[in-house]
C-alpha cells in the first residue's frame, strides 16, 4: 500500500537537516549529513562483502559510534538486523544465529576467541576488517515500507529458548511518535543513551534521534559521575534509565542539583521504590515511570511526573496510539483493581515472533497481544504492573507476586536491592524467599526484615528466608533475573 511507504529514515533526515548534530560519542561528533555519508560508505563495503537486501544479518557490537554507522548502513541496504546481546555465551549466540538463519555476523574483533568463532556456522565479518574492505557502489533503499522488518531482538524468555521478536519500521516509527506525543518534544532536546543499543531501550533512542532530528549522546556503558557531568556539559534533556541507574545518579549528586534544562528520566524495568521517588522529588528531578517490552518496541504505558506520588507504583496510561486492557482467565474484563493479564494493542506492537507459529497463535488474539504480565487498572485507568505471570508464586492456593514483596523490602532504608522468588514447600506447594543487597552503611538482621514485612504484608506473603548477597543477577538492560536467584542459593554464594 502506498500509504505504508516512507522515505528512508536516515537519508531523509540528512536531507532535511544535514548540519544538525546527530551524535556525540566521547570526543567525536557527527552531523546527520556526516552520519549518512559514513553509513553510505559502510553500506558499500557490506555489499562488497556479499550482504544483500532482505537477508538476516547478526550484529554483535558494543555501544560505539561505529555501531551506529553499521546499523544505519544495514537499513540503507534493506537488511533485517538481528540484534545480539554481547553477554551471550557462544552456544546462545549460535542458537540465535541459526534460528534467524542469519547470513552474516558483524562483530567486534575482540569479542570471541578463534576457537569460539569456529563453532558459529555463519560468515563472520569482523568490524575492523569490514572497514578496510574495498567500496562498491551500494544499492540504497530510497524508501521503506512500514510493514517491513527492520530489526529482530530475542527476548530472554523465562522458560525454553528465547523468541525472536520481529520489529517493523512501522513499529519503531509509531514508538517514536507515541513517545513524542507523551513527553512532548522541543528543538532543544538531547537524549543520553548509556543502555545497550542491542536492547530495545537503546535502539529506540537511536531511531527517535533520526526521526526527531535530535542529538544522541552515546555512552559505552553507564557511569553515574560521567552521566551527571555530561547532562551539564552536553545540555542533556532526557535519559532512559532503570531503577539501579537512577539510584546511583541521585546518590552521586549528593548536594548538587541537575540543571533546569534537564526534562526527565524515563524509568523502565519495573516499579520505582517509594524512597527513590521521594529522593528524586527532593532533588527536583522529574521521573516518567514506564512499562514496555521488546514486543512493544519500547514503552507503551507511561506515568507523567505530576502523578508520581499520587499514583505510587503505577506505570501510567497507554501512549496515544496504543490501547490496554486487563483480562481475567475467562477472557472477561477485570474490574477496577482486579488482577489479570495485561493485553495491549497498537501500531508499535510487534507483528509476531520469527518462525514461531504456535507462540504467535497463543500470544495474539483479535489484534491484541497477550503480554503474560499480571496487572490491574484503577478507576481512572492507571496501570499497576504486579508481575510476570511466569514469576508468580502460588502458595496454599494464594497468588503471590514477587514484585509486591520486593517493593516492600526496597522501602526499608537499609536495603538497596531486593529480589524474590518461590521455593518448593511440602505444606504450601511454594513459599517466597527474598534475596537482598544491603546499603553499604547499614547492617540489617533477618529478624528485622521479617518484622518489617509482617507490618506491611499479609503473613502468607512474608518471605520464609532472607539471603544477603552482594549483587542481584540482572540482564544487560539491568532487569532482575528472578530465575537465577535459586542458582545463587544452590551454589551457596551468599554473603552470610
Is the domain of 218 the same as that of 279?
A: yes
Is the domain of 57 the same as that of 191?
A: no
CATH number at residue 273: 3.40.50.12780
* Residue with grid cell 507523567, as numbered in its chain: 304
pLDDT, average across residues 82-94? 87
The pLDDT tens digits for 260-285 are: 999 999 998 766 777 888 899 899 99
Is the domain of 222 the same as that of 324?
A: yes
Is the domain of 227 the same as that of 375?
A: yes
The pLDDT tens digits for 11-39 are: 999 999 999 999 999 999 999 999 999 99
Rg (CA), the chain: 23
Q: Classify strands 80-83 and 56-60 as parallel, antiparallel or unpaired.
A: parallel
Query: How far is Cα 192 from Cα 195, in angstroms, rounded to an integer?
Result: 9
CA torsion through residues 448, 484, 265, 86, sign: positive
Is the domain of 47 the same as that of 104?
A: yes
Cell numbers at residue 79, please? 537488511
Query: How far is Cα 312 from Cα 309, in angstroms, rounded to an integer?
Result: 5
Asked whether residue 163 is assigned to any structural domain, the reply reads no
The pLDDT tens digits for 303-354 are: 987 887 788 878 999 999 999 999 998 999 999 999 999 999 999 999 999 9
Instruction: Give me the helices (H) in 49-162, please.
Output: 65-77, 90-99, 114-118, 127-131
Total domains in the fold of the chain: 3
Q: Domain boundary residue among 128, 145, 162?
A: 145
pLDDT band at 302 (very low <50, low <70, confident <90, very high): very high
Domain span holding position 380: 171-389
Asked whether residue 496 is assigned to any structural domain, the reply reads no
Nearest 5°: CA angle at 288, between 277 and 324? Answer: 120
pLDDT band at 494 (very low <50, low <70, confident <90, very high): low
Query: How far is Cα 444 from Cα 164, in angstroms, rounded to an integer?
Result: 42
Q: Which residues contact 453 (CB under 8 A, 6 or more apart)?
A: 405, 408, 409, 461, 462, 463
Decide: 209 and 191 in contact? Cβ < 8 Å: yes
CATH number at residue 485: 3.30.300.30
Helix (H) or strand (E) segment spanning residue 124:
strand 123-126
Q: Which residues contact 118 (CB under 8 A, 6 or more apart)?
A: none
Is the domain of 134 the same as that of 189?
A: no
Decide: 386 and 401 in contact? Cβ < 8 Å: yes
pLDDT band at 158 (very low <50, low <70, confident <90, very high): very low
Q: Domain boundary residue among 366, 389, 412?
A: 389
Is the domain of 215 the same as that of 291?
A: yes
pLDDT band at 160 (very low <50, low <70, confident <90, very high): low
Lowest mean pLDDT among 6-15, 134-143, 276-285: 276-285
Is the domain of 221 the same as that of 248?
A: yes
Confidence (pLDDT) at 489: 77
Cell numbers at residue 474, please? 540482572
Is the domain of 478 the same as that of 380?
A: no
Amino acid at each position: 500500500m502506498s500509504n505504508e511507504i516512507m522515505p528512508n529514515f536516515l537519508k531523509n533526515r540528512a536531507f532535511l537537516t544535514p548540519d544538525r548534530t546527530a551524535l556525540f560519542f566521547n570526543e567525536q561528533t557527527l552531523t546527520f549529513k556526516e552520519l549518512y555519508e559514513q553509513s553510505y560508505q559502510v553500506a558499500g563495503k557490506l555489499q562488497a562483502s556479499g550482504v544483500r537486501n532482505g537477508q538476516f544479518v547478526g550484529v554483535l557490537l558494543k555501544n560505539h559510534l561505529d555501531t551506529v554507522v553499521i546499523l544505519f548502513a544495514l537499513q540503507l541496504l534493506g537488511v533485517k538486523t538481528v540484534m545480539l546481546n554481547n553477554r551471550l555465551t557462544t552456544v546462545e549466540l549460535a542458537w540465535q544465529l541459526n534460528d534467524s538463519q542469519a547470513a552474516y555476523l558483524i562483530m567486534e574483533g575482540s569479542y570471541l576467541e578463534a576457537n569460539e568463532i569456529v563453532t558459529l556456522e555463519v560468515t563472520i565479518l569482523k568490524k575492523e576488517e569490514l572497514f578496510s574492505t574495498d567500496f562498491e557502489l551500494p544499492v540504497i533503499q530510497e524508501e521503506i515500507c512500514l510493514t517491513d522488518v527492520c530489526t529482530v531482538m530475542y527476548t530472554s524468555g523465562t522458560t525454553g529458548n528465547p523468541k525472536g521478536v520481529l520489529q517493523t519500521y512501522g513499529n519503531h516509527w509509531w514508538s517514536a511518535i507515541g513517545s513524542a506525543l507523551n513527553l512532548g518534544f522541543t528543538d532543544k532536546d538531547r537524549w543520553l543513551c548509556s543502555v545497550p543499543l542491542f536492547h530495545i531501550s537503546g535502539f529506540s533512542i537511536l531511531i527517535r534521534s533520526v526521526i526527531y532530528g535530535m542529538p544522541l549522546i552515546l555512552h559505552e556503558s553507564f557511569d553515574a559521575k560521567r552521566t551527571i557531568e555530561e547532562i551539564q556539559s552536553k545540555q542533556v534533556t532526557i535519559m532512559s534509565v532503570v531503577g539501579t541507574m537512577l539510584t546511583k545518579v541521585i546518590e552521586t549528586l549528593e548536594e548538587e542539583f541537575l540543571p533546569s534544562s534537564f526534562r526527565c528520566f524515563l524509568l523502565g524495568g519495573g516499579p520505582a521504590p517509594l524512597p527513590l521517588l521521594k529522593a528524586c522529588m527532593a532533588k527536583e528531578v522529574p521521573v516518567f515511570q514506564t512499562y514496555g517490552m521488546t514486543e512493544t518496541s519500547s514503552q507503551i504505558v507511561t506515568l507523567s511526573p505530576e502523578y508520581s506520588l499520587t499514583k505510587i507504583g503505577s506505570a501510567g496510561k497507554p501512549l496515544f496510539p496504543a490501547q490496554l486492557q486487563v483480562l481475567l482467565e475467562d477472557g472477561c474484563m477485570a474490574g477496577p483493581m482486579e488482577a489479570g493479564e495485561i493485553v495491549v494493542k497498537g501500531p508499535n506492537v510487534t507483528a509476531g515472533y520469527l518462525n514461531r507459529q504456535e507462540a504467535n497463535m497463543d500470544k495474539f488474539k483479535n489484534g491484541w497481544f497477550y503480554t503474560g504480565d499480571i496487572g490491574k487498572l484503577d478507576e481512572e485507568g492507571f496501570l499497576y504492573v504486579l508481575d510476570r505471570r511466569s514469576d508468580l508464586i502460588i502458595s496454599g492456593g494464594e497468588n503471590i507476586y514477587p514484585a509486591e514483596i520486593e517493593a516492600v523490602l526496597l522501602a526499608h532504608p537499609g536495603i538497596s536491592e531486593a529480589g524474590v522468588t518461590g521455593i518448593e514447600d511440602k505444606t504450601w506447594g511454594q513459599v517466597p524467599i527474598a534475596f537482598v543487597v544491603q546499603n553499604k552503611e547499614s547492617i540489617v538482621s533477618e529478624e528485622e526484615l521479617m518484622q518489617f514485612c509482617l507490618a506491611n504484608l499479609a503473613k502468607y506473603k512474608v518471605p520464609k528466608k532472607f539471603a544477603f548477597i552482594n549483587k542481584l543477577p540482572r540482564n544487560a538492560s539491568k532487569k532482575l533475573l528472578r530465575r537465577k536467584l535459586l542458582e545463587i542459593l544452590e551454589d551457596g554464594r551468599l554473603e552470610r
